Chains A and B, each alone.
Chain A
Amino acid sequence: MSLNIKTETARIDDEIKLSSGKKLMSYDIKYETYGHLSDKKDNAVLICHALSGNHHAAGRYKGEEKSGWWDNMIGPGKPINTDKLFVVCPNNLGGCHGSTGPNCINDKTGEYFGSKFPIVTVSDWVNSQKSLLNHLNIPFWRCVIGGSLGGMQSLQWSLEYPELIKNCIIIAAAPKLTAQNIAFNEVARQAIMKDPDWCGGDYLKEKKSPDQGLSLARMLGHITYLSDDSMKKKFGRDLQQPNLKFNYEVEFEIESYLRYQGTKFVSNFDANTYLLMTKSLDYFDPIKDYGDKIQRMLSKTTCKFLVISFTSDWRFPPHRSKEIVELLLDNNKPVSYAEINSSGGHDAFLMENENYFKTMDNFIKRLR
C-alpha cells in the first residue's frame, strides 16, 4: 500500500493553560498523517518529535530531495507499519514549521510573537497533542512513540493521560537532564542570545536573523549527538587540502562538516524555537514535579512500555534510560528494555540498525 501522506493544520480553539501560568486562547497544530484510520478508530499512533524535528516524519514531498526525518522507520512494511497503523506526527506547539510558535504573527497584536511567545513544557505539548486527538476524533492512541525529547513526551503521555494510551515507546531518553546536559543547552542558548541580530528575541520585527548564533548552537548540539567513535570513523583528522594552511579557515573535514550542518540548519529553523525547545528539555523532571503522586498516576495506566537505549549515546546513555525502567519496575508496570549496540551516538535512534529495527518491529507487530 502507499504511505498515504497528508499534511494538515488543526485550529485548536480550546484555551490552553501553560505550565508557566500563561494562556493561549487558540493555536494551530500542523501535523502529518500516514496510513488509514481503521473503522473502529483503534489503530492510531502518535509520533513525538525531538528538538529539531517537525511534523514531516516520513515520505517525500514532490520536488523535495530529502524524505521525512524518520522515513526509515515509518512506512508500508516498515516497523511503524502504515499498512496497519494510522500514524500522526504533529509539529510541537512553539515549533517553527507551521504550528503556532515564536515565528508566527500574534492575531491579537498583528505582530510576530518573537520574545512574547511563552515558554512551553513537555506537559504543555502533551496537553496540546491531547487536543489534537480530540480534533481528529480518535478515542485513544494505540501507541505513543518518541526518541530523545520525543521519548520524554511519550513518558509524559503515560503519566498524564493513562486512559488514552495503550502502549508507550521511549527511545534514547532520560527522566530528566543532568547538569552536563543543561550546561550544553545553556551554551547553545548563549550562542543565540549573544548574537546582536537576536534583538532580544524580536529579530523578525527588526528584519534581522541571528544566523551566527543559531548555527553555533547547532554545531555544538551536533557534537553531542554524535559519538567520538563515529566522528573518528567518518572524519578522522582528514584535511580538505593536502597541506596545512596555517590560518583559521576551514582545514579539517570535521570543521567543514560542522559549519555545513550549522548553515543548513539556519535555513529552516527558528532561533527562538531552539531556545524554547532546550528550555523545555531542561525543565523536564516528572519524578520531582509529581513527587509521591507519580505512583498514583502510574497505578492508573495499563499501558505497556518499551524503553530503548544505545551504547554510544553519551547525551542520554543507557543508565539514564534505565532510570525510566526502574521507575516502571518500582510500580510493577509491564516494561521491556533493549540496549542496542551502536556507534551512532545519540542520533543512533534515527539510524538504521538491524537489532533496533527488529526490537521495534517485534513490539509494534504485537500492539494490543
Chain B
Amino acid sequence: MRVRDDFELIISWIEKDSRVLDLGCGDGSLLKLLKNKKNITGYGIDNNIKQINKSIENEINVLNFDLNDGLGEFKNDSFDYVVLAQSIQEIKDPKKLLNEMLRIGKEVIVSFPNMGHWTSRMQLFFKGRMPVTSELPFRWHETPNIHLCTINDFIIFCGDNGFTIKEKSITSRNFIDSYMISLLPNFFGSVASFRIE
C-alpha cells in the first residue's frame, strides 16, 4: 500500500526512540509505521470503535477518547511529539486543542487538506457547488468536517495564537501540481504539514 504523503513527511520529522501521541489515529497505520521505522512508543487516540479495533489489530496502544473533551488525561511534556494528521477539520475548538497539544508535547505536528487547492476553488467557482475532492470526499450534508481551512488561513491562525511554525511542507499527488507548488502553494498544494512549537 502507498504511504500517505503527509505520513512520509511526518515519519521523516520524528526522531528515533521518541514518544508519540497520534490524535485521530484511525486504524493506527502511522503509529505502526513509526514503530517499525523509528522504534517509537506511544498511543493513538480515536473516537470510533471500529478504528479502535483496527488499531488493536495493528498492535497499537489506542485510546477511545473524544478529542473535543481535551487531553486532560495526559501530563505536561509527556510526549516528544503530538501529531494531528488530517483530523483538525473535525475538531470543535482547534485553538483549544492545539494549546493542549503544546502543553503535553515538546513538538506538535499538524497536517490538513488544503481547502485552497485549485480543484476546490474550481468546483465552487464554476459549478457553484461545495467542493468534493479525494482528500475531502464528503458532500456538505454528510461531512464530519466542520473546520476546513486553507494553508493561508492556518498560517494566520498560528500567528494570531502565538504558535511558532518551525517548518512547513506542502505536497500534492499530481505531477503538475508538484511542479507548481513552490510558486503558489495555497493554490497547488493538496495537503499541508506543519511543525509547531
Chain A residues within 8 Å of B, Cβ to Cβ: 306, 322, 325-326, 329-330, 332, 334-341, 355, 358-359, 362-363, 366
Indicate whether A326 sits within 8 Å of B73 (C-beta atoms), given known contacts A336-B62, A337-B65: yes
> Could you list 27 examples of A-B contacts with CB < 8 Å?
A306-B56, A325-B63, A325-B73, A329-B43, A334-B61, A335-B43, A335-B61, A335-B63, A336-B61, A336-B62, A336-B63, A337-B62, A337-B63, A338-B49, A338-B53, A338-B56, A339-B49, A339-B64, A341-B49, A355-B49, A358-B53, A359-B52, A359-B53, A359-B56, A362-B53, A362-B57, A366-B56
Q: Within B28-85, which residues are at the interface with A (CB < 8 Å)?
A: 41, 43, 49-50, 52-53, 55-57, 59-65, 73-75
Q: How many of chain B's residues touch chain A, expressed as a range? A: 10 to 19
Contact B73 A329 (CB under 8 A): yes
Contact B75 A355 (CB under 8 A): no
Contact A340 B56 (CB under 8 A): no
User: In the docked arrangement, what's the CA distance between A84 and B65, Å?
Assistant: 32
Contact A338 B64 (CB under 8 A): yes
User: In the docked arrangement, what's the CA distance between A359 and B63, Å?
Assistant: 12
Measured between beta carbons, the chain B residues less than 8 angstroms from A339 are 49, 64
Measured between beta carbons, the chain A residues less than 8 angstroms from B49 are 338-341, 355, 359
Chain B nearest CB: distance from A58 CB in Å?
Answer: 23
Identify which of B50, B60, B62, B74 contacts A329 (C-beta below 8 A). Answer: B74
User: In the docked arrangement, what's the CA distance between A329 and B61, Å?
Assistant: 11
Contact B73 A336 (CB under 8 A): no
Contact B56 A363 (CB under 8 A): yes
Chain B nearest CB: distance from A257 CB in Å?
Answer: 30
Q: Which secondary structure dominates chain B's binding surface?
A: mixed
Measured between beta carbons, the chain A residues less than 8 angstroms from B60 are 336
Measured between beta carbons, the chain B residues less than 8 angstroms from A366 are 56-57, 59
Measured between beta carbons, the chain B residues less than 8 angstroms from A341 are 49
Most B CB atoms within 10 A — which of A306, A322, A362? A362
- If A329-B73, A336-B55 are given as contacts, then 5 extra A-B residue pairs at C-beta distance below 8 Å, sorted by A number, are A332-B41, A336-B63, A341-B49, A359-B49, A366-B56
Contact A330 B75 (CB under 8 A): yes
User: In the docked arrangement, what's the CA distance between A334 and B44, Å?
Assistant: 11
Chain B residues within 8 Å of A, Cβ to Cβ: 41, 43, 49-50, 52-53, 55-57, 59-65, 73-75
Chain A nearest CB: distance from B164 CB in Å?
Answer: 27
Indicate whether A336 sits within 8 Å of B52 (C-beta atoms), given known contacts A325-B63, A366-B59: yes
User: In the docked arrangement, what's the CA distance between A330 and B43, Å?
Assistant: 13
Chain A nearest CB: distance from B25 CB in Å?
Answer: 11
Chain B nearest CB: distance from A175 CB in Å?
Answer: 14
User: In the docked arrangement, what's the CA distance between A329 and B52, Å?
Assistant: 17
Indicate whether A355 sits within 8 Å of B53 (C-beta atoms), given known contacts A322-B73, A329-B73, A329-B74: yes
Measured between beta carbons, the chain B residues less than 8 angstroms from A330 are 75
Indicate whether A337 sits within 8 Å of B57 (C-beta atoms), given known contacts A325-B73, A355-B49: no
Measured between beta carbons, the chain B residues less than 8 angstroms from A363 are 56
Measured between beta carbons, the chain B residues less than 8 angstroms from A334 are 41, 61
Measured between beta carbons, the chain A residues less than 8 angstroms from B56 are 306, 336, 338, 359, 362-363, 366
Chain A nearest CB: distance from B162 CB in Å?
Answer: 28
Nearest residue in B to A340 (C-beta to C-beta)? B49
Measured between beta carbons, the chain A residues less than 8 angstroms from B59 are 366
User: In the docked arrangement, what's the CA distance between A325 and B71, Å?
Assistant: 13
Measured between beta carbons, the chain A residues less than 8 angstroms from B52 are 336, 338, 359
Chain B nearest CB: distance from A247 CB in Å?
Answer: 48
Measured between beta carbons, the chain B residues less than 8 angstroms from A355 are 49-50, 53
Most B CB atoms within 10 A — which of A329, A340, A355, A366? A329
Top-4 shortest CB links A-B: A362-B56, A339-B64, A355-B49, A337-B63
User: In the docked arrangement, what's the CA distance between A331 and B121, Å?
Assistant: 48
Measured between beta carbons, the chain B residues less than 8 angstroms from A306 are 56
User: In the docked arrangement, what's the CA distance between A358 and B57, Å?
Assistant: 10
User: In the docked arrangement, what's the CA distance between A332 and B19, Å?
Assistant: 10
Chain B nearest CB: distance from A295 CB in Å?
Answer: 13
Chain B nearest CB: distance from A253 CB in Å?
Answer: 32
Chain A nearest CB: distance from B94 CB in Å?
Answer: 23
User: In the docked arrangement, what's the CA distance between A338 and B64, Å?
Assistant: 5
Contact A337 B53 (CB under 8 A): no
User: In the docked arrangement, what's the CA distance between A332 and B64, Å?
Assistant: 17
Measured between beta carbons, the chain A residues less than 8 angstroms from B74 are 329
Nearest residue in B to A334 (C-beta to C-beta)? B61
Measured between beta carbons, the chain B residues less than 8 angstroms from A359 are 49, 52-53, 56
User: In the docked arrangement, what's the CA distance between A366 and B43, Å?
Assistant: 17
Measured between beta carbons, the chain B residues less than 8 angstroms from A358 are 53
User: In the docked arrangement, what's the CA distance between A334 and B61, Å?
Assistant: 6
Measured between beta carbons, the chain A residues less than 8 angstroms from B43 are 329, 335
Nearest residue in B to A308 (C-beta to C-beta)? B64
User: In the docked arrangement, what's the CA distance between A321 and B188, Å?
Assistant: 46
User: In the docked arrangement, what's the CA distance between A326 and B63, Å?
Assistant: 11
